[in-house]
Amino acid sequence: MWQPDITVAAICERNGRFLLVEERAKSNNKIVFNQPAGHLEQDESLVQAVVRETLEETCRHFTPQALVGFYRLTTPVGKTYIRAAFCGEVSAIDDSRLLDEDIIATHWLTHQQIETHQSLRSELVLSCIRDYLAGIRYPLDILREL
The whole-number pLDDT of residue 126 equals 96
CA 109-94-62 angle, 5° bins:
60
Question: What is the model's pTM?
Answer: 0.95
Q: How far apart are CA 66 and CA 87, in angstroms?
A: 6
What does DSSP assign to residue 25?
-
The whole-number pLDDT of residue 112 equals 97
Radius of gyration from C-alpha coordinates of the chain: 14
Tens-digit pLDDT profile for residues 39-80: 999 999 999 999 999 999 999 999 999 999 999 999 888 899
Residues of the chain with pLDDT under 70: none
Whether the Cβ atoms of residue 113 and residue 26 lie closer than 8 Å to each other: no
Domains of the chain and CATH, by start: 5-109+119-142 (3.90.79.10)
The whole-number pLDDT of residue 1 equals 84
Whether the Cβ atoms of residue 87 and residue 11 lie closer than 8 Å to each other: yes
144 residue type, one letter:
R
